[in-house]
Amino acid sequence: MERDAPRSVPGRLALARPSAALATALLVLLVSTLAGLALPGNASAGKTQELMFQDDAQLLGRDLGTQLGLLDELESLGVDSIHAIVYWKRHLADPEARRRPSGSGADPRSAHYTAEKWDLLDSLVRETRRRGMQLLLTPAAASTKGSIGLPRWARRGDGSPNTRHAQRFFQAVARRYYGSYTDEDGGRLPPVRRWSFWNEPNQAGWIVPQYKRVRGKRIAWSPVVYRDLYRRGLKALRSAGHRSSRVYLGETAPLGDPRNRTGTRSAMPPGLFIRELACADRRLRRYRGREASRRKGCRGFRRSHLKAHGFNHHFYTKGRGQPAVFNPRNRDWFPIYAQRRLTRLLDRLASRGRMYRRLRVYNTEFGFQSRPPDSKSGVRLNQQAQYENESEYISYRAGRIRSFTHYLMIDDPCVISSRQCLGFQTGLKFIDGRAKPAFAAFAMPIVVRRTSRSNKVRVWGSALRRRRGAATELLKNGRVVRRFVPGNTRGYFDIKVTGRRTDRYQLRDLATGFASRVARASSRRIL
């Protein structure tokens, strides 16, 4: 091993004491000054995308110890926000009841619910607030059976959710987290100020049917259902007093099959879904007459029906698609590389009065399946780490994408069926807790790009914990070539150094010794 080669620090971060970190930073500044090394400037100081994380299984599906342990770890990684789905059935007193319980579903203290089933969510609200993290809650239910599915009494004959009952559930959650609610133990719950309603509404796993025959014509039906759900969500927040809360449209899935005839499988392309949500045809003209009457809510539609502070989207790629090159022909697909298609569509709809102008776009669920354990759909472990970093760089460069998110710290259990793992294997760690290379990639991203000069490369990345002032060093082939302190508010930097295509680069945090993945100069154009 070469003298300056960084040590590997898998799993949890072991942060140094503040005094040691401060001394190291001062030493780096002194060494940098004496050596005449150029520090990265503030050219990218406007790049302030937030770092978000989602892992409902660990944060809301286990126990209090698991939740607190993961929140501590996410705090050490510099995560700004948590996205969590509030599953309807998991809070019901009798999740399998065939008839609607007595009492008001809009009251979290009613016979609909059990006090103990709110405990983990109450804790998540309190603990994120205590750590200075923001929390985005998404009340939802899947169209499938099981603990995350719709209550039987809230399912219509065609499988879609009864939106009146859903509104009462939204009200119960909104009232509980308004900011003045006292829980069953006598403690006051802090407010939640960020909301979205339903998850991946253009995906048949969450709303069925996706398509439906109305008056002899097959139309996109999930936008009709979701538009009603969203409007009822807005009413629920208003009735609970959430005057200053921020509400987001979407949570849409990135791909879809336009040839899906039954409406009970696959997903609807998000471009089609969004146009139909705004009651607009393929040419973005508003529906009139018979076409408007086929689509409930399109007669008298106004953009205020979709009032929002932003649009949330899940920028996954397809299968093993590389984020920097996966540019599908279907113009209604919006993976991470084609993110401009989404912002362009939103802007064009806004110019026609169908949505509000310059909606901010948030990536609220994202990741790559790894192989192992997913031998059919996953990418190799080092590729997962590389694609994670390239995707964050694309998001960073995009401007309109205001957040970068990772989905899952721990892989879902891998139940083998047809040679494919069921569930998500996008975790930064295996199910036994061992860190994948993606853990270091998420903690300290690095991307190396070629330049027009054969002896120069550009290195983009972030300091550990995405923070300003963290003393960092860049290594080439195991030896230190630059030490610096990023000035960007989120710790991002973009510097040019002398190097060849075959060189290997790595970042290291001076305070802890934590090292990034090893990266080579990419031969692909990355936005």
Q: What is the CATH number of the domain that holds 486?
A: 2.60.40
- As a whole number of Å, the CA-based R_g of the chain is 24
Does any domain span residue 185? no
Cα–Cα distance for residue pair 473/488, rounded to 1 Å: 16
Diameter of the chain measured on Cα atoms: 79
Provide the 3-class DSSP secondary structure of residue 30.
helix
Q: Please tell me the predicted confidence (pLDDT) of residue 18.
A: 41
Q: Judge whether 266 and 255 are in contact, CB under 8 Å.
A: no
Residue that is last in its domain, among 174, 209, 224: 174
Residue 211, beta-bridge partner list: 220
Within 10 angstroms of residue 372's Cβ, the number of other Cβ atoms is 14
One digit per residue, the tens of pLDDT, for the chain of length 527 reads 333 433 333 455 544 434 444 454 445 444 443 333 334 443 332 378 999 999 999 999 999 999 999 999 999 999 999 999 999 999 999 999 999 998 899 999 999 999 999 999 999 999 999 999 999 999 999 998 888 999 999 999 999 999 999 999 999 999 999 999 999 888 999 999 999 999 999 999 999 999 999 988 899 999 999 999 999 999 999 999 998 999 999 999 999 886 665 555 678 999 999 999 999 999 999 999 999 999 999 999 999 999 999 999 999 998 777 787 777 788 999 999 899 999 999 999 999 999 999 899 999 999 999 999 988 889 999 999 999 999 999 999 887 899 999 999 999 988 766 566 778 999 999 999 999 999 999 999 999 998 887 789 999 999 999 999 999 999 999 999 999 999 899 999 999 999 988 899 999 999 999 999 999 987 666 65
Q: Which of 202, 179, 519 is nearest to 383 (CA)?
A: 519
Q: Please tell me the predicted confidence (pLDDT) of residue 284.
A: 96
Provide the 3-class DSSP secondary structure of residue 317.
coil
- Same domain for 56 and 30: no
- Same domain for 411 and 267: no
Residue that is last in its domain, among 322, 342, 364: 364
Does any domain span residue 1? no
Does any domain span residue 179? no
Provide the 3-class DSSP secondary structure of residue 461.
strand
- Same domain for 371 and 319: no
- Same domain for 220 and 354: yes
- Same domain for 277 and 215: yes
Tokens of 416: 């083998």
Pairing of strands 456-462, 446-450: antiparallel
User: Sheet holding 521-522: strands in order across?
Assistant: 492-498, 456-462, 446-450, 521-522
Q: Judge whether 431 and 411 are in contact, CB under 8 Å.
A: yes
Structural domain for 386, as ranges: 366-443
Q: Please tell me the predicted confidence (pLDDT) of residue 214.
A: 92
Phi then psi dihedrals of residue 295, to 5 deg: -110, 100
Q: Is the dihedral of CA 387, 270, 150, 419 positive or negative?
A: negative
- Same domain for 283 and 226: yes
- Same domain for 353 and 219: yes
Does any domain span residue 453? yes
H helix intervals, 285-422: 289-294, 339-351, 381-398
Q: Judge whether 76 and 13 are in contact, CB under 8 Å.
A: yes
For 17-24, the CB contacts below 8 A with 24+ separation are 20/511, 21/471, 21/511, 24/471, 24/510, 24/511
Within 10 angstroms of residue 199's Cβ, the number of other Cβ atoms is 27
Question: Tokens 């989120």 map to which residue?
Answer: 490
- Same domain for 109 and 99: yes
Q: Which of 388, 391, 395, 409 is nearest to 75 (CA)?
A: 409
Which burial class, exposed, middle or buried, applies to 76 when counting CB atoms under 10 A from its CB (0-12, 13-18, 19+)?
A: middle
DSSP-based helix, strand, coil % in the chain, nearest 5: 30, 20, 50
H or E element that contains 313: strand 310-313
Task: Tell me how many domains the chain contains.
Answer: 4
* Cis amide bond preceding 209, omega within 30: yes
Does any domain span residue 403? yes
- Same domain for 331 and 295: yes
Q: Give the DSSP letter string of 511-524.
A: TT--B---B-EESS
- Same domain for 99 and 133: yes
Does any domain span residue 302? yes
Tokens of 184: 């069953």
Does any domain span residue 183? no
Does any domain span residue 43? no
Q: Please tell me the predicted confidence (pLDDT) of residue 389.
A: 96
CA distances, 8 to each of 77, 258, 447 (Å): 16, 46, 19
Residue that is last in its domain, among 313, 347, 364: 364
- Same domain for 467 and 503: yes
- Same domain for 247 and 143: no
CA distances, 449 to each of 390, 473, 498 (Å): 10, 18, 12
